[in-house]
Amino acid sequence: MPFVRIDTLRAGPERLAALGRAVHDALTETIGIPPDDRFQVLVDHDGTSGTLRCDDYLGVHRDEGIAYIAITLRSGRTPAQKQALYRRTAELAHAYAGTEPRNVFVVLTENESADWSLGEGVAQYLDTALSLRRPSAGLPAGR
C-alpha cells in the first residue's frame, strides 16, 4: 500500500499522468505492489504560485524537468529492492513521460502498519486477518 506524491514544474496533465503510471508500474514490477493498489497525488506547479528548487547535488545536474517523487510505504523492503525500484522508476519515467533519468528524484519513507487508515477511521493493517481484506468488503464496526 504505497502512497505516492509526484511534484513537477509545468509538466502538463499528460506528462504528469505518464509519470504516475511509470511510478505505479515500477512499484508493481519491482516490489510486488498489486495493480489495483494505486493511491497517488499528482501536482504540477505553474512556477508562479508554486515552484520547485533543485541544485546539482552529488554531481547530478537537474533542471526544470525535475520530477520529485515521494513514496510512503510500510517497511520491509531490502536495499536491493529499493535500488531496483529507483532504477525502474527512472527507466519508465523516461520511456512514458520523456523525463530524463537525471531529473527523477525519488525519496522513500517507510512506516508501520499502525500508521495507515484506508478509510472509515480504521487502521486496517493492525489486524493481520483484516489486512488481507479490502476496506470496501465491510469491516466490522469499531475495528
User: What domain range is 36 assigned to?
Assistant: 3-136
pLDDT of 92 over the 50 cut: yes
More confident position, 18 or 122: 18
Per-residue pLDDT tens digits for 45-54 = 988 777 778 8
Q: What is the pLDDT of residue 140?
A: 36
Mean pLDDT of 114-138: 68
Evaluate whether residue 19 is within a structural domain.
Answer: yes
**Is residue 143 one of the residues assigned to a domain?**
no
Which pLDDT score, from 0 to 100, does residue 125 have?
A: 85
Q: Is residue 141 part of a domain?
A: no
Can you give the three-state secondary structure of 61-99, one letter per residue? CCCCCCEEEEEEEECCCCHHHHHHHHHHHHHHHHHHHCC
Mean of all residue pLDDT scores within the chain? 87
Identify the bridge partners of residue 67 per DSSP, sorted by sequence position.
Answer: 8, 104
Whether residue 67 lies inside any domain: the answer is yes
> Given a cut of 90, is residue 29 above it in pLDDT?
yes
Taking residues 127-132, what's their average pLDDT?
Answer: 53
Give percent above pLDDT 70 in the chain: 88
Distance CA 2, CA 72 (A): 5
Determine, yes or no, domain membership for 122: yes
Q: Is residue 131 part of a domain?
A: yes
For residues 98-126, average pLDDT: 92
Residue 93 has pLDDT above 70, yes or no: yes
Which CATH number does the domain housing residue 58 bear? 3.30.429.10
**Quick check: is 13 in a domain?**
yes
User: Number of folded domains in the chain?
Assistant: 1
Collect contacts of 49-54 with beta carbons under 8 A, ≥24 apart: 51/9, 52/7, 52/8, 52/9, 54/105
Q: CB atoms < 10 A from the CB of 73, how many?
A: 19
142 falls within a domain: no
